[in-house]
Structure formats: structure tokens, C-alpha cells
Structure 1
Amino acid sequence: MMKGSPLSGRDSKNPNQTTINVTDGTLIPLKDEGSLLSAWNISFFGAVALLVILPLFSPDPYLRILSFVPDGLVATFSVTLISIFFALLIGLFAGLGRISQKLFINRIATVYVEVIRGIPLLVQLFYIYYALGPLLRLKGPPAAILAMSICYGAYMAEIFRAGMQAIPKGQMEAALALGMSRSMAMRKIIIPQTIRIILPPIGNEFIALLKDSSLVSILAVSDLLRRGREYASTSFRYFESYTIIALIYLVMTLFFSRLVGMMEERLRHRGKVH
């Protein structure tokens, strides 16, 4: 899993140098890509059309595959949503730790981020399921959720850290001058503004997590990919099964990428208005 910096823009050390943000999320459609032949429209509606046409013209096996995988789709979304929730909680506290003035807390948060980001998600899944699973009595979905929450929590921590550091320092100083404690200022002033800044990067991470959730199929979790593998292994229709699975993933990721793009545009518009 390869990630870029959580927030892009101008380099704080060199204002004339533009930083480039590269992530493993899907391409977020731009506002000016509104033509019918835009890349997003071709990809999304092409995938949807194939999901409709293939079962109509070839019910066996495509319609059977589509009727076989819905419960796997539910499992995929369940693991993704629960994991992103806990990853946000972990990321918030780890992000606060990363900017903490207390050396001990800062070091713990920094070590967590560096260690977790240095280990591939697949290795973490195996480690928690096979090494820690028997000790913690974790099986299937709980082990997958724990691994993905810990892994993505490290990336969320960097997003929160970058977002909080993007808030002008004068706001914290003004809050302290008004008699607020540092924790109260963070809770009532800094974090609410940070949430608005980091919403688009969090959306990107959600898309990446949705795709990476396919890895949990190796942990006996009946997600979308595993259901496709089960059908393929019993029918020997590997091409057809993985074609449908790939198209479903493509539709989901492109759909959420459009939502993230709309959210970015709305936030950008609000910033101009205010």
C-alpha cells in the first residue's frame, strides 16, 4: 500500500515550491470534466452498462454470479465502515499526540505512525490474525477490522496532524489569551476547523480502504472478493467471476470518488463565500 502526503499544496519551507500529492485512491473527477465523454463518465457508466448487459445476454453465469455475491458486498461495506470509524478515532488521538508538546506522548505517537506505516497491510492482517488472533481470541471480521483500523489509523494520524498544523497559530494564541486551556482551545476551535480541512483527504482514504478491504478475503471473511472466489472455485468460471467482481469494485470506487469530488468543490465554494 503506497500513500502520499495527506495534504497537498505549497511547501511551508519554500512557498514557491509546489508539492504533489499522490495516493492510491481513484482519480477524483475535476469540475471541468463535465462532458459526456469525460474519463469518469466513460469508466463509471461503461462499468454499469456491462453489469446490466452481461447478465441480460448471458444469464449463465453472469446473473448467477450477481445473485451469489450480495452478502459479500454487505460484508465488504461493514468491514470498511467499522474500520474507518475506528481508524478516525485512532488517527485523531495519534494526530494530537504527534503535535503534543509532551515529549513522551509525542514519541509514542510518532513511533506508532512510523512503525505501522512501514509494515504492509497484508503483513499486518496476517500478524493479527495468525500471531495475535489465538492470544486475543480474534477470528474473521474482528481481526480484519482491528488490523485495518490500526493500519489506516496511522495514515489518519498524519492527516489530522497536517490539518491541525494548517490552522494559523494565532488562533491558539488568541484562545489562550482569552483564558481557555490548551485542551479546550483544541476541542472548541482547532479541531472543528481541522475537520473541514481534512474531509477530502479522509474521503480519499475511505476509497483506498474500500479497495484494500478485498485483502480480508484471506482471513476467512466472506467479503465480495471471497464470494467471487467461492463461485469461481465451484463453477470454474474464473474469468466471468472476477470480471463481475472487478466491475462492482470499479463502480463503487468511482461512485465514491465522485462524492469526494463534489465535497471538495462544495468546501472550496464555501471558503470563497466566507
Structure 2
Amino acid sequence: MTYIPRRPTILSRTPWWLLAIALLFVLGLWGITTDAAYSQIFRALSGGVITTLWVTIIAFAAATALGLLIAIARTSGNRILRELSTFYVEIIRGIPVLVFLFYVAFVGAPGLVSAVNWLLQPIDATITIRQFDFVWRAILALTVCYSAFIAEIFRAGIESVDRGQIEAARALGFSRWKCFRLVTFPQALRNILPPLANDFVSMVKDSALVSALGVQDITQLGKVYSSGSFLFFETYNVVAFLYLTMTISLSLLVRLLERHLHENTR
């Protein structure tokens, strides 16, 4: 009698950890929709989701652009650019994000306002420190912090491209910029995208630190609500649920992206 193996079902192929997460999500959603206290907390905190995503998206886009420029400087043939960009990366990566948030908010922002006022002297115009909103101070701090980490991702991706292809492009008469745009960067992008997406997930979590500046994100709204209602357990359950929903969804998208890129490079 010939043994015919059974085809694996979708349930058997699904990892147990993913099933456990899905169960937790269903239980959390059920609690929010059926319990009056949880429903009220969810409505109070839902506005913070927009602030969290707004701060994260703007800061990450700016950090990516700045990180790319720093990575190009780190891989350039100019020693001065290499040394300055390396100094920037090492200094920024050595400072905790929370410390840098305070530094930018209470030291860097007043200094920047003073510099702008000095430049505006010829037209007799001034701005005040109150006009520099704490949301934008938080975005600036996250941009600078993450640009150093993203620069290292770009640098590693650029250096992973075979030097022979770059030399061949240069031999064909490509300029340095054209060689980077048409040969180096498209190939480096395949290696860059997964860790870059992981950094975006990390920034979603680190954005909770902006609550220390009073920015009305999920964490800050949860802190305010729990201190007024004394429902600390329920409030921070909802806070954790919101962050987990965002980060796990993004992490699963990153896994799909990595699998797609892996299959395309076979």
C-alpha cells in the first residue's frame, strides 16, 4: 500500500507564536468592545494614535533622508567628509534617545531660535521659543538620533555591492553620481529595506519617549487618564494593546518584505 502524505493545512503551517498573538489580539479587542471601562479608555487614548504615527512618519522620513546623506559622506573618497560623518555617527549613537530628547527640547531648541533671530535682525523680525512647538522638538530629536543608525544601514548596504560592478560602470564612462544612482543604490536597496523597516518599528516604540515632553501621544494620554481615574491596570493594558497592534502589524509586513526580496534574489 502506497503512503500518500497529507498536504499541510494553513493551520499546521502557521507558527504557534503567531496563533498566540492572534488570540491575545482577539481577547484584547473583545475586552475593549464589551467592557465599558475599557471602551471609555480606548476612546480617550485613540487620539494619541494619530499623534504617535504623525511624529513617527515625519521623523523617520527626515531621518532617512539625513541618514542617506551621512552614509554617502562616510563612503566618499574625501577624508574630511568621512571623518566628520563618522564623528557625527559615533557621538549621536552614544547618547540615549531620552537624554537627547531633553537636550534638543531645552538646549538645542532655544539655541536654534536664538540663531534664527540673529539671522532675522536685518528685517527686524523675531520668533519666540513658545513658537517652537514641543511636537516639532520631539520630531527634530528623533530625526537626529535615528539618522545616525540609518546612516550605518545605508553604509552597510552600499559597501555590500561588488566593487567590480562599480569599477566596470566607471570604465564605461559613468560619473560618480550616475554610478551611484544606477548601479550601487538599486542593488544596495535590497539589503537596506528589511533593516530600515525594522528601524521604523523601533521608532514607533521609541516615540513613547516624547511623552516626557508633554506631547499628547498614546503614552501621555494614558498617563493623564490613569492619574485622573486611578484605573492604572486597565489604562496601561489599552496602551500596550495599541502599541502591540501597531508594532506587530508592522513586523509582520517586514517579514513579508524580507521573504519577497529573498524569493526575488534567488
Q: TM-score, normalised by structure 2?
A: 0.86
Q: State the identity as a percent.
A: 38
The Cα offsets for residues 85-124 of structure 1, whole Å up to 9 and x where unpaired, read as 0111111011111111101000111001000000000010
Superposed, 1:158-169 pairs within 5 Å as 158-169=152-163
Is 1:217 equivalent to 2:204 in the alignment?
A: no
Is the counterpart of residue 270 in structure 1 residue 264 in structure 2?
yes
What residue is the counterpart of 1:58 in the other structure? 35
Matches within 5 A, 1:14-163: 35-36=13-14, 38-43=16-21, 45-59=22-36, 61-136=37-112, 137=129, 138-163=132-157
Structure 2 counterpart SS, 1:114: helix
Deviates more, 1:63-72 or 1:129-138: 129-138
Query: How big is the shift at 1:230?
Result: 1.3
Aligned pairs, number: 239
Letter in structure 1 aligned against 2:233:
F
SS of residue matched to 1:69: helix
Higher helix proportion, which one?
2
Name the counterpart of 2:166: 172
CA distance in 2: counterparts of 1:102 and 1:223, whole angstroms: 42
- What TM-score, normalized to structure 1? 0.84
> 1:207-226 CA deviation, whole Å, 9 max, x = no partner?
10110000001111100111
Say which one has the larger Rg: 2
**TM-aligned CA distance change 1:107 to 1:33, over 3 Å:** farther
Counterpart-to-counterpart distance in 2, 1:123 and 1:80: 18
> Aligned runs of 1:242-253 on 2, under 5 Å?
242-253=236-247
Please give the secondary structure, in 1, of the residue aligned with 2:95.
coil
Q: Rate the CA distance shift 1:218–1:98 in 2: closer, same or farther, 3 A.
A: same
**CA distance 1:254–1:112, change in 2 (3 Å):** same
**Residues 1:46 and 1:171: Cα distance change in structure 2 (over 3 Å):** same
| Per-residue deviation, 1:33 | 10
In the TM superposition, residue 254 of structure 1 has moved relative to its aligned partner by: 0.9
Identify the match of residue 239 of structure 1 among 228, 233, 241: 233
Displacement, 1:56? 3.8
Query: Matches of 1:67 and 1:76 in 2, distance apart?
Result: 15
Structure 1, unaligned runs of 5 or more: 1-31
1:66 partner letter: F
1:199-214 matches, within 5 Å, as 199-214=193-208
Deviation at 1:187, TM superposition (A): 1.7
Task: Find the aligned partners of 2:161 and 2:11 in 1 and give their Cα distance.
Answer: 31
- Distance, in Å, in 1 between the alignment partners of 2:86 and 2:15 is 45
Deviation at 1:181, TM superposition (A): 1.3
What's the counterpart of residue 16 of structure 1? none
* Residue 187 (str. 1) matches residue 181 (str. 2): yes
Deviation at 1:133, TM superposition (A): 2.1
Which amino acid counterpart does residue 162 of structure 2 have in structure 1? P
Q: Choose 186-195 or 69-78, whichever is displaced more.
A: 186-195
Offset of residue 182 of structure 1: 1.2
Counterpart CA distance in 2 for 1:175 and 1:47 is 53
Distance 2:169 2:220 in 1: 52
Secondary structure of 1:179's counterpart equals: coil
The amino acid that maps onto 1:49 is V
Q: Residues 179 and 109 (structure 1 numbering): CA distance in 2 closer, same or farther, change over 3 Å?
A: same
